[in-house]
Copies of this chain bind each other. A is one copy, B any other.
Amino acid sequence: MTLPPPVRAGQPVDEVDTPALLVDLDALERNIALMQRAADRAGVALRPHAKSHKSADIALKQIEAGAVGVCCQKVSEAELLAAGGVGDILVSNQVVGPKKIGRLASLARHVRLGVCVDDAGNAAEIAAAARHFGGEIAMLVEVDVGMGRCGVDPEGAAALCRHVSALEGVRFAGLQAYHGRAQHIRDHGERGAAIAGAGVIVRRVLADLAAAGVDCPAVTGAGTGSFEFEAASGIWTELQCGSYVFMDADYAANLDEGGEAVSVFDHSLYLLAGVVSAARSGRAVVDAGLKSLAVDSGLPAVADPPGVRYLGASDEHGTLDTGSGNSPPLGGKVRLIPGHCDPTVNLHDWYVAVRGDVVEALWPVTARGAVF
């Protein structure tokens, strides 16, 4: 038994049952166009990260706007997006173990598929599976450019690239160079300096590759917090930004050169919550807590009604400070801006796609829960 969506297409937004993820289509489409224009102007490719939205519908909109394909983090995400019609997918992550490698190689017969590696043995296993299944896999060598998570040290990168280049069944497709820690550095100058440091590392690897006579077709990376620096660097050839489609409270706290909030992208993702208890003056309790909203990067902001603050989350409840006046009544609706969009989306089965006051479409969260 699965649950029905929280509303039907064509109904007014007032009919949406809570809690539910709302997507403001006008804002979403503006964000998609803006990022594509930024990539086009810089002469780099855009490969948006689908780990943010996990939606085949949104991925296809991004590709229609000019993106070369999408990224995702898990083989299961790639399988589900491919089943949803997405034809070019980079798993910007390590894929380890015979089960997952077999699924990856099998999927490569159906779509253009890429994967990252930071281990020679793992690369060889993937190549063997690709030969077995008869599809070609684009393989990128991940370099640790400052994040300290996956990726080889810069010194070992060229050797691994040469190793990959020599493997049959896979095609050496370049470098994965993503600096995750830089994305949420609030200060514009410091954020730029972090990416400049990553650029120094990538240049060193590119010089090693040139010296070894290995052609490097692409350098891919960047995120919503830092993409302007990678785009202008002359080093990166492809951007992997994801969160710009929705924006969240955390990314919106980044600052521009003038120390102002970065405001290029609009919030397009909301969590619509309903008031389930208003027994106390100045307080209201909504039906959206930890199982509807990720709070790892901070509590949600309240978009409306004005003057209301989200004070705290328990599993299924959120407590609001409603101030004096403007208190939403029992059954009233509150629109929340999630602190962190990616893990919030992963909690839901449906997007309610809204234009103005009308529900235009219902989109499944195609890859919700696709963890393996």
Q: Which residues of A contact B (CB under 8 A)?
A: 1, 3, 6, 17-20, 51, 73-74, 76, 79-80, 83, 93-97, 99-100, 118-119, 121-122, 144, 148-153, 180, 274-280, 283, 285, 287-288, 290-292, 294-296, 313-317, 319, 330-331, 340, 342-343, 346-349, 368-372
Contact = CB atoms under 8 A, between A and B. Distances in A.
Contacts of A296: 290, 295-296, 313
Contacts of A314: 149, 180
Given A97-B17, A274-B97, A316-B73, A279 B370 contact: no
Given A3-B370, A93-B276, A100 B152 contact: no
B346 A6 contact: no
Contacts of A119: 277-279, 330
A317 B118 CA distance: 15
Contact of A74 (B1, B151, B316): B316
Nearest to A312: B149
A291 to B, nearest CB: 5
A313 to B, nearest CB: 8
B294 A290 contact: yes
A82 to B, nearest CB: 9
Given A17-B97, A94-B285, A347-B347, 17 more contacts: A1-B79, A1-B80, A3-B370, A6-B372, A74-B316, A95-B276, A96-B331, A150-B277, A150-B279, A150-B317, A290-B294, A290-B296, A290-B343, A291-B371, A296-B296, A316-B371, A368-B369
Contacts of A153: 279-280
Contacts of A277: 94, 118-119, 149-151
Q: Which 5 interchain pairs have the tightest Cβ spacing?
A: A150-B277, A94-B276, A73-B316, A1-B83, A290-B343
Contacts of A144: 279-280
